[in-house]
Amino acid sequence: MCKESLLICKKKTFQQDQQSTMQTMIYNISLAKYLAYSHKNPIFKLDLSSTLTLMKYFPKVMGEKIYLSPLNVEDAEKLTAWMNDPEIAKNITSQSKVISLNSERARIEAITKTTDEYTFAIIEKSENKILGTIGFAHVNWVHRNAEIWISIGEKEYHGKGYGTDAMKSIVSYGFNVLNLHSLYLNVYDFNVWGQKCYQKCWFKVIGKRREGYFYNGKYHDMIYMDITRKDRETLGEK
């Protein structure tokens, strides 16, 4: 096997919409190549390490520019950095908490040990890079509703459509796979991006809790939004 094969493998097969079985196969081929050639050529070592990075994620819910994957415990460091970053934290209620790497690792470990959790990593398709997290909380199987939440921690990816893409993808998963009937969320009044993103994903404002959130020396309103299956069908979305 030559260097070119490995590059083709990396460029073509890891591009878009790859299934995990294919990825596992490529991983095995790359590993065999590595074992055979790494001692001769250090370039193969680089190729393998980037391949291994790519292999961490498993496309579960497909969007246009992103896919949603189960989280990995190794993502704990990034998540800890994001949750302690004041610019991100003010929007997701983690500003008033000190979140350690250990506690975050333990939280992710707990998530990955159960099949009842709907927490996903948001992965940029072309680079297989984690941008943030998204999920459902408080899933109620009697009333068939759930709270939905999102956080894109990689700030240079803000305002480029990734949030809208991820939200639309998980909304579709909620209605079409989990058979949920309605989804709801809350967003703080100063988070105009968030509100616009949710409106683009067909959420409607249903009310607000006045001065329900204290941040930066003053109280802010919490805006409540929701979407029903019918709302979405009326808009022609499937």
Binding residues (CB under 6 A) for ligand COA: these are 88, 91-92, 132, 150-152, 158-164, 187, 191, 193-194, 196-197, 200
User: Closest approach of Cβ 10 to ligand COA, in Å?
Assistant: 27
- Judged by beta carbon, residue 30 or residue 169, the one nearer ligand COA is 169
Helix or strand or coil: residue 104?
helix
Residues 6+ apart with CB under 8 A from 185: 147, 148, 149, 198, 203, 224, 225, 226
Nearer to ligand COA, 27 or 193 (CB): 193
* Distance from C-alpha of 4 to C-alpha of 108, rounded to nearest angstrom: 38
Structure tokens belonging to residue 94: 């983690």
**C-alpha closest to that of 82 among 160, 162, 151, 166:** 151
Nearer Cβ to ligand COA, position 31 or 222?
A: 222
Nearer to ligand COA among residue 37 and residue 120 (C-beta) = 120
CB of 192 to ligand COA, least distance (A): 6
Quote the least distance from Cβ 74 to ligand COA, whole Å: 21
Closest chain position to ligand COA (CB): 163
The CB-of-166 to ligand COA minimum distance in angstroms stands at: 7
* In the complex, least distance from residue 194 CB atom to ligand COA, rounded to whole angstroms: 4
The least distance separating ligand COA from the CB of residue 125, rounded to whole angstroms, comes to 14
Name the one residue in this structure whose structure tokens are 């050639």: 37
Edge-to-edge strand ranges of the sheet holding 182-188: 61-62, 66-70, 118-124, 129-140, 145-152, 182-188, 218-228, 204-215
In the 8-state DSSP scheme, what is residue 156?
G
By beta-carbon proximity to ligand COA, the closer residue of 154 and 231 is 154
CB contact at 8 A, 31 and 24: no
Q: Which two three-digit tokens encode residue 74? A: 């190794």
Helix (H) or strand (E) holding 219: strand 218-228
Cβ closest to ligand COA, residue 26 vs residue 61:
61
